[in-house]
Amino acid sequence: MHLFICDTRGSASPRYGMSVRAAGAWLLAALALILASPSPSLANGELRGGEHEFYFTRGIYGEGGVGAADWGPRWAVDFPKADEQFLVALRRLTVVDAFDKDNAIGIGEAKLRDFPFLYVLEVGSLSLTEAQAQALREYLLAGGFMVIDDFWGTWAWQNLEQEMRLVFPNRTIVDVPLDHPVFHAFYDVTEILQVPNVHQAAGGPTWEYDGRVPHVRGIFDDEGRLMVLINWNTDLGDAWEWADLPSYPLRYSTYAFEIGINFVIYGMSY
């Protein structure tokens, strides 16, 4: 089976409806507006579904974690601004009928099964109960697609591996090659960038801890479809969250939007 992206405007034209760079200025303005208004977060128990085709759903897990006292629960890092700013880009650059607000749901809640796309981050602090692991396993086997982001270094990886073994004892985590459809579902992503957090984006090393090399890894189902997409040693969420910050490099936010949109299109197609 082959995958192709076609652009009906002809081969001489760019391969997407609006180039990310051309949309950059527009996005910055739009994001500034969002920042100016208070976030209508609906994460605390209010449930949605059925009004739109797509909800950017963030997975809630655990209590506390490293740095929780300073930044709040780890699941909520960059929340909700990153989510909503990503949705601005998604709605502007694609025709996805996406709900424009955040949508955080606890891993293990039955309601999560109404939202087949799940975003989870800071999984160095992920600690699943047995019930949550089972719920997550069934969510993924039923057709859910989980994107993991913003965790760095060996210790965080080892924690994720340990937690994923609770979910899928017999499935391995493998690198996703660049010719995989997930890198070409909307944009052609030809390299994996290390997206730094907002503090390190201004200069100096882009990595945290010993996470010098970014990876996109995955867990596949029996038919070869991605169930879990793992962005290790990179922080897409920060790039979405601080895309409106003039000092944050456009290169990173552009990449983060591009690959994030690819994740959504792939997650809605395979």
Partner 1 sequence: MLEFAFKYPADLFTRGTLEMQWPFVTYLAVVLVIGLLAAITLGYFGARSPRRRRDRLGLWALRTSLLALLLFVLLDPRLVVETDDPVRGHVTVLIDDSMSMRIRDLGDVARSEFVTGAFTPGSGSLASALESRFDTRYLKFSGSVEPLAPGEVLSFAGSRSDLARALQRVARAPDASALAAVVLVTDGAVENAGELDDAVRALKASGVTLHAIGVGSARLEADIEVAEVRLPRTVLRGDAVEAEVMLTHRGLAGQSVTLIVEEESAIVKEQSLTLPADDRPLSLRVPLEFSQPGPRRIVFRIAPQPGEILLENNAAHRAVDVRGDPVRILHIEGEPRFEVKFLRRAVAADDAIRLVSLVRTAENKYYRLGVDDADELAEGLPVSEEALFRYDAVVLGSIGNELLDEALQSRLREFVSRRGGGLVLLGGRRAFAEGGYSESTLAGIAPVVLPAAASVYRAQVPVRPSANRAGDPLLRLAKADQVYAAWEQLPPLTVVNPIRRSKPGATTVLEGDDGSGDPLVILAWQRYGRGTVAAFPVRDSWRWQMHADVPLEDETHERLWRNLLRHVARPAGSRAQLKVEPAEAALGESISIEAQTLDSRFLPLTDANLTLQVTTPLGEVENIVLQRAINKDGLHHADFVTREIGRHEFRLKLEGPDGEAIEAGTSIEVTGAGREFHSSELDAPRLSRLAEHTGGRFFPAADAAEVIKAIDDTTATVRVEKRLPLRDAPALLIALIALACIEWAWRRKRGMA
Interface ranges with partner 1 (CB under 8 A): 1-9, 15-18, 50-51, 53-54, 93-97, 110-114, 116, 138, 141-144, 185-186, 223, 225, 264-265, 267-270
H or E, element range at 147: strand 145-149
Half-sphere exposure of 27 (CA within 13 A, CB side): 29
By beta-carbon proximity to partner 1, the closer residue of 41 and 94 is 94
Shortest distance (Å) from residue 263 CB to partner 1: 12
How many degrees, rounded to 5, is the angle at CA 143 between CA 113 and CA 1?
160
- Tell the smallest beta-carbon distance from residue 164 to partner 1 (Å): 18
C-alpha–C-alpha distance, residues 91 and 79, integer Å: 19
Question: What is the nearest approach in angstroms of partner 1 to the Cβ of residue 149?
Answer: 21
Question: Do 112 and 121 touch, CB atoms closer than 8 A?
Answer: no
Quote the least distance from Cβ 101 to partner 1, whole Å.
17
Of residues 36 and 95, the one with the C-beta less far from partner 1:
95
The answer to whether 189 touches 15, Cβ cutoff 8 Å, is: no
78 alpha carbon, distance to own chain's centre: 12
At its nearest, how many Å lie between partner 1 and the CB of residue 185? 6
Q: Which residues pair with 105 in a beta bridge?
A: 59
Nearer to partner 1 by C-beta: 69 or 142? Answer: 142
Judged by beta carbon, residue 141 or residue 213, the one nearer partner 1 is 141
Task: For residues 86 and 257, give the distance between their C-alpha atoms in angstroms, rounded to a whole number.
Answer: 7
Closest to 228 (Cα-Cα) out of 238, 220, 236: 220
Least Å distance, CB 94 to partner 1, is 5
Question: In a 3-state reduction of DSSP, which class is residue 68?
Answer: helix
- Contact assessment for residue 219 and residue 173, using Cβ atoms and an 8 Å cutoff: yes
* CB closer to partner 1, 99 vs 232: 99
Are the C-beta atoms of 192 and 237 separated by less than 8 Å? no
239 vs 265 by CB, closer to partner 1: 265
Q: Judged by CB, which is closer to partner 1: 91, or 101?
A: 91
User: Which residues lie across from 232 on neighbouring strands?
Assistant: 215
- As measured in angstroms, the least distance from the Cβ of 266 to partner 1 is 9
Cα–Cα distance for residue pair 40/27, rounded to 1 Å: 20
